[in-house]
Structure 1
Amino acid sequence: MESQKRRGILERLNAGEVVVGDGGYVMQLERRGYVKAGHWTPEAAVEHPEAVRQLHREFLRAGANVIQTFTFYCSEDKLEISGNVTNITGAQINEAACDLAREVANEGDALVAGCVSKTPCYVKSHSETEVKAIFKKQMDDFLKKDIDFFIVEFVDHVEEAVWAVEVLKTSSKPVGATLCISPQGDMEGVPPGECAVRLVKAGADIVGVNCHLDPLTCVRTVKLMKAGLENAGLKAHLMVQPLGFHTPECNFGGYTSLPEYPFALETRAMTRWDIHQYAREAYNAGIRYIGGCCGFEPYHIRAIAEEMAAETGVLPPASEKHGLWGAALEMHTKPWVRARARREYWENLLPASGRPKCPSMATAADDYEKKMESNKPT
């Protein structure tokens, strides 16, 4: 076990292994009362470490091979404009988050990923020097805690992601870079394939997408990134960590354009069976780092681990209680419920909303998409 724990992210991916990522933190912790909606900053790592620790632990038990530090939006400029009146510094959050992630990762065969995300500074000034200084500060905090590798996440301009990768590659740690983009490209219209090429040339070892869009859309985007790398004669491992919500009407602007964002997204939640399909689609596309972002709860991560069990040879501890594909229902007292203890039932189910007047899709998002399309660079 000890030798296995020491195997790094690239050793696992180079061996062709599936790496199961963890899920979303900010929305989960907001629902539990620990994070401020809208700002989504991670002071909870210092203020309520027990809450963060517990969520880490649930993801680990569900089968996650990576525990990400809860450091989303943890740059001083973001903390300042988000009304951080507690005087908790970015360094304090980063270091506390690293300690929590390492504590839980050591309870199993998991690695710790130090995560950096986009900065308000980029949109405000487009200053490479200022933006890189922010990433450098975060990197130094993570290196003090000897995290296993870095993840750049939730960046919608490839230029900023490239700057982040260039900074993080000055360390000896592997770097994964996930863009928050659609199949149409980043916010400047740079296509996914070109985005991937720029990231790999900057030094990224793993590239992909995260957040903003539903799983199958994100897989489609990563396929485009893969094609771009192949056309350029470049190689990198592929990674995907999408939303855990159905978002068919907002495949450019992302889920923040939906009228349900952020307090009524439960109506769009993915079932565990949707996630089984997603994990298989991702694997078939050649993606070997498969996880989730906002909306991905521990049972979604368990679904990934269960779908990949044939490839990994491992079922997570969280599967012990219920078995695969509803097998535990075989013990139910009602015969019509016992009949659901099979894969075919759940794979073919069309879930109802339970709301007689519930629309299939939101019209507000359609209007937003039209506006975004008209403003998109040509």
Structure 2
Amino acid sequence: MKRNKRDILERLNAGEVIVGDGGMVLQLERRGYVKAGPWTPEAAVEHPEAVRQLHREFLRAGADVLQTFTFYCSEDKLELSGNVTNITGAQINEAACDLAREVADEGNALVAGCVSQTLIYLENHNEAEVKSLFKKQLQEFLKKDIDFFIAEFFRYAEEAAWAVEVLKTSGKTVGATMCISPHGDVNGLPPGECAVRLVKAGADIVGVNCHLDPTSCIQTVKLMREGLEKAGLKAHLMIQPLGCHTPECNLTGYISLPEYPFAMECRTLTRWDVHKYAREAYEAGIRYIGGCCGFEAYHIRAISEELRAEKGCLPPASEKHGLWGEALQMHTKPWVRARAQRKYWQDLLPASGRPKCPSMATPADE
């Protein structure tokens, strides 16, 4: 696989597709390296081999960008989460940057330094205090010379804009993604107005991540695009949804589902769902396409394979995967060989396989 490591903004300006990586927090929790609830990233220091391996799997699957494993890595969040090992945010940020850079250089990928929502904002909405946390993280990232920044997982446009304003002082490209539905942020600010606010704060890339499935996230990004067009503003679009089906979630997202967070596997997207998602996102004008919680390496490979013509290449992981099941042509069973075609998998409606399993749940907030 030939990968061109040019500036992220240059590549997006040229209309190139950027395949993002998958969310690491949920994957590492399932592997036994992160505690659900706090969701803080001490594993970058405690178990670097686990973080390194997950980065490597995403890279092999075709990710053009590796995000630093720094989700919820602000001192206020670490303190409240019961950080008994006394690992500092600076230690985590440094280790996470080193791990992402080490693996990214194996495949000429880019490294994105990531910051996320803070607890202080919810407590007092103090702009100076919130920005001081972002500034501290920014300074730690700049020591490692990451390629660009992503402010992700924000529920309030105001806080996301503050993060963008701080990150933009670096002079580097800044992406900003919010975990919101088509209804807008927690304060009811519509997606289009959220996008306008982020771009006016300095964001070069805007979009959504986490909390909702691909269908909802694509709808939200379309509304963001409409808002920007109405305001006469331009920005590149980015999307990194959940790797699960969550059609019931209209407000707070998947955290309101009865299955959250320990029984989400029954909702997992198939690789064919991801093919459909990647194509719909591309046709919606989105060029930075990845995944968040629930996305595994084979999902990222599916994005890369669906957009192989646009990217001009396939990822290394495709060497062990026949496109649209073509490798099944060698199967000994004729009914399995008959599945070696695109139409079969595109038209399939998978069964849950779970006796008495309801088709939908009743979220706590609905």
Deviation digits for residues 60-102 of structure 1 (CA, Å, limit 9, x no counterpart): 0000000000000000000000000101000000000000000
Other-structure match for 1:373: none
Does the residue aligned with 1:320 lie in a helix, a strand or coil?
helix
**Corresponding residue number in structure 2 for 1:120:** 119
TM-aligned CA distance change 1:124 to 1:255, over 3 Å: same
Aligned equivalents of 1:338, 1:4: Cα separation in 2: 37
Instruction: Please say if residues 2 and 313 of structure 2, whose CA atoms lie closer than 8 Å, have aligned partners that are also in contact.
Output: no
Q: Deviations over 1:115-152 (max 9, x none)?
A: 00000000001000000000000000000000000000
Task: Name the counterpart of 1:47.
Answer: 46
In the alignment, residue 102 of structure 1 is paired with which amino acid? Answer: R
Deviation at residue 109 of structure 1 after TM alignment: 2.5
Q: CA deviation at 1:305?
A: 0.3
Q: Is the 8 Å Cα contact of residues 209 and 240 (structure 1) preserved in structure 2?
A: yes
Instruction: Flag as ranges the 4+ runs of structure 1 deviating above 2 A.
Output: 1-5
What CA RMSD, in Å, does the superposition of the two structures yield over aligned residues? 1.1
Task: After TM superposition, give the deviation of residue 4 of structure 1 in Å.
Answer: 3.2
User: Any stretches of 5+ residues in structure 2 without a counterpart?
Assistant: none
Quick one: structure 1 residues 300 and 75, their matched pair in 2 at CA, closer, same or farther if it must change by over 3 Å? Answer: same
Query: Is the Cα–Cα contact under 8 Å of residues 98 and 142 in structure 1 kept in the other structure?
Result: yes
Question: SS in structure 2 opposite 1:368?
Answer: coil
Aligned-partner Cα distance in 1 for 2:19–2:338: 31
Show the counterpart of 1:205: 204
Structure 2 residue 348 is matched with structure 1 residue 349? yes
Cα displacement (A) at 1:322? 1.7
Matches within 5 A, 1:288-327: 288-327=287-326
Q: Distance in 2 between matches of 1:17 and 1:105?
A: 19
Q: Are residues 231 and 335 of structure 1, via their aligned partners in 2, closer, same or farther at CA, if it must alter by over 3 Å?
A: same
Partners of 2:3 and 2:318 in 1: CA distance: 25
Q: Where does the alignment leave 5 or more consecutive residues of structure 1 unmatched?
A: 370-378
Q: Distance in 2 between matches of 1:211 and 1:3?
A: 27
Partner of residue 261, structure 1: 260
Contact 1:53 1:100 in 2 (8 A): yes
Aligned to 1:141: 140
AA at the equivalent of 1:286: G
Secondary structure in structure 1 of the residue aligned to 2:95: helix
1:356 Cα deviation from its structure 2 partner:
2.0
Distance in 2 between residues matched to 1:112 and 1:173, nearest whole Å: 12
1:4 aligns with 2:4: yes
In the aligned structure 2, how far is the partner of 1:167 from the partner of 1:10?
Answer: 19
Q: How does 1:51-130 map to 2 (within 5 A)?
A: 51-130=50-129
Contact 1:321 1:328 in 2 (8 A): no
Q: Distance in 2 between matches of 1:32 and 1:348?
A: 32
How many residue pairs are counted as aligned between the two chains?
Answer: 366
CA distance in 2, matches of 1:323, 1:221: 33
Per-residue deviation, 1:54: 0.1
Equivalent position SS for 1:112: strand
Cα contact 1:43–1:93 (8 A) shared by 2: yes
* Mapped partners of 1:205, 1:270: distance in 2: 29
Percent identical residues: 80
* Equivalent in the alignment of 2:14: 15
What secondary structure is seen at the aligned counterpart in 1 of 2:320? Answer: coil
Alignment of 1:235 onto 2:234: yes
Shift of 1:296: 0.4
Q: Give the Cα separation in 1 of the matches to 2:57 and 2:224.
A: 31
Residue deviations 1:326-348 (CA, integer Å, cap 9, x gap): 11111111111111111101011
Q: How far apart, in 1, do the equivalents of 2:64 and 2:306 lie?
A: 15
Give, in whole Å, the separation in 2 of the partners of 1:47 and 1:86. 9
> Following TM superposition, by how much is the alpha carbon of 1:49 offset from its aligned partner in structure 2, in angstroms?
0.1
Amino acid at match of 1:117: S
- Give the CA deviation at 1:2: 11
